[in-house]
Structure 1
Amino acid sequence: MSVTEQVIQVVAETLNVSPSAITQESTADNTTGWDSLAHVNLMIALEQTFDITLDVEDFAKLTSIQSITDFIEAAQN
């Protein structure tokens, strides 16, 4: 499973939506249920899933599937 697919799965589980409702273009602004509380829960889930540490500045930047995927891929390299 690619990083993007894993991110989509984590986002879908966190937001309690079908993975098919989440795309590479999904953002906090255009995705139902992706509010501030869900965003915090999502960041925690991403830290646990990918064994990464995010700081407050990262939380503010990671507001789309693309930005999350790019960040995780960079962190893994």
Structure 2
Amino acid sequence: MAVQLDAQLLEILACPCPEHGALLVGTPADPGADFLTCSVCHRSYPVTDGIPVLLLDEAVRLDADQDPTDG
């Protein structure tokens, strides 16, 4: 299921890491994934029950071909 966030909320959300950037819906490998991915550091943050979990401890660093839901 694709992330459903208000466009204005998505505009103000930012990655919590020091080299933060805009958050993009999905992941490089799956644009419909329930994640927000930083356009600068490429960490992906899960979206649980429609709520972005923007905690560095919960972030997943991905290569372009990885899927964060794969164990």
Normalized against structure 2, the TM-score is what?
0.33
More helix as a share of residues? 1
More strand as a share of residues? 2
Higher relative contact order at CA 8 Å, sep ≥6: structure 1 or structure 2?
A: 1
Normalized against structure 1, the TM-score is what?
0.31
